[in-house]
Structure 1
């Protein structure tokens, strides 16, 4: 089983307008759609699309629970969320143009999780997760969810012996590295910040960081990524596609990468699959969709070069 943990889930309200969003102008909404938000839920959506058994965990607000659950049902995402009484899951307003690329995101901060539910999540993980499972913790934490809380969460997962992947940022990413998780996906700037090293080359920094992390993928944006695994470095060059919206491309990559590992694919094939799925995502207008058939064709256009140590 693969478990995803979304500490600060969201309901994405997609607002489609004509042309660019402009100040001092009535930007009329021509269509509204809803999607689930939060990196962990996006990862679950990808895994479900691959037909891989998974369950989304996290903490949702009681007041709009039916709306969130309806979206998760539509996305075929199995879940076992804890519920925080008397509050609402945050909404993220995403403004999209019907004839231009990109999006504008306006996310709410989310609610403060009670100590009771922080403790209940740890108990839930200890009860559910087995050594042969995989766990992915992805996305930003809610307000007042401290580093100490996050450390206890990581410690609880690691105590099960399960594979642990983290797609977080800032101090939470640094803590994940410090505790030796199995997978992270930082960008180039985050690698420098983690190591506090600006003089070494990117390759040297990646090799250093890979000594702590078994599966390390460094995102280079439109230029692709570099993956470090088992003492080897792989430069991944993505196919050229017509970009409509790159929001969520990283989440799709993570979901597909974890899917590849779960299916015991070779690392190079896993990287090709994940990159093909991510490329398909940027061709879509919303923040989480991708096409499996198109991704399969794009996978064949991905180039992988093994980098030799200098």
Structure 2
């Protein structure tokens, strides 16, 4: 089983404009659509498409619970979220116009979780996770969920003996590195923050690999490095027409962990993950990708061992 933990999920409200957005004018919306938001839920959607046994965990607010659950069902995501009473799952507003390839995103901070909410979530997690499971913690932290709470969460997973993957940023990522989790996926900026001594990137990744089994250093459209067993793989994705790169990294993580779960080789896992991410950037929303296109593009991914 793979568990995804999205502590601060979102409902993405996609606003499609009739024309290019401009200030000081009325920008008319021609269509509104909804999508799932939050790194862990994006990864869970990939797992559902790849027929990997998964369960999405985290916090959701009861105020807009029905709306959130409806999107989960449409995305075929199985879940057991901890419901926070009197709170609403945050919404993100994604503005898309016809004349640009990029998007504009406005995000709410998210709900406030109480000590009781955190206790209920941890107890639910303890009852579920076993040694053979993979657990992904991904995305931002909700209000009142501190780094000490994150430390406790990772500690609980360490006690369970499961595989711990973290797609986090800032101080949360530094904590994941300190606690020697099994997988991280920093981007270029995050990698520079971690590498405080400005050591050569490849050497730094190899040294980091002494404590962390799998490291994927994302380079955006330039691909990625993957380090495992002190072997460094350079990954070059296929060239595609980019529409929206939001969620591409989450798509990569979901497919990568699915590959590990299915015991694929590292090169095959990287090909699958890179192809899924490449398909994702061709779509407007944050989670959609075409598995058919990904399987077709998989063989276009170039992998060399450095």
- 1:240 matched to which residue of 2? 239
- 2:298 matched to which residue of 1? 299
Equivalent position SS for 2:300: coil
- 2:47 matched to which residue of 1? 47
- 1:56 matched to which residue of 2? 56
Structure 1: how far apart are the matches of 2:21 and 2:224?
A: 31
Alignment TM-score, normalising by the size of structure 1: 0.97
Moved beyond 4 Å, runs of 4+: none
Contiguous gaps of at least 5 residues in structure 2: none
- 2:85 matched to which residue of 1? 85
- 1:288 matched to which residue of 2? 287
Is 1:18–1:99's contact at 8 Å kept on the other side of the alignment?
no
Structure 2: how far apart are the matches of 1:18 and 1:256?
A: 34
- 1:207 matched to which residue of 2? 206
Task: Return the offset for 1:87.
Answer: 1.4
Equivalent position SS for 2:80: coil
Task: Return the offset for 1:151.
Answer: 0.3
1:250-269 CA distances to partner (integer Å, 9 max, x unpaired)? 00000000110011000010
- 1:262 matched to which residue of 2? 261
Structure 1: how far apart are the matches of 2:33 and 2:192?
A: 38
- 1:37 matched to which residue of 2? 37
- 1:228 matched to which residue of 2? 227
Task: Return the offset for 1:145.
Answer: 1.4
1:148-194 CA distances to partner (integer Å, 9 max, x unpaired)? 01100110111111111000000000000110111000012222222
> Quick check: 154-163 or 201-210, which moved more?
201-210
- 2:111 matched to which residue of 1? 111
RMSD of Structure 2 on Structure 1 (CA): 0.9
Structure 2: how far apart are the matches of 1:268 and 1:214?
A: 15
1:45-92 CA distances to partner (integer Å, 9 max, x unpaired)? 000010111100011111110000011011111100111111111100
Task: Return the offset for 1:42.
Answer: 0.5
Equivalent position SS for 2:117: helix
Structure 1: how far apart are the matches of 2:160 and 2:195?
A: 28
Equivalent position SS for 2:235: strand
Structure 1: how far apart are the matches of 2:139 and 2:288?
A: 18
Alignment TM-score, normalising by the size of structure 2: 0.98
Equivalent position SS for 2:284: coil
Structure 2: how far apart are the matches of 1:116 and 1:162?
A: 25
Contiguous gaps of at least 5 residues in structure 1: none
Structure 2: how far apart are the matches of 1:124 and 1:161?
A: 16
Matched ranges for 1:115-130 at <5 A: 115-130=115-130
- 2:70 matched to which residue of 1? 70
Equivalent position SS for 1:300: helix
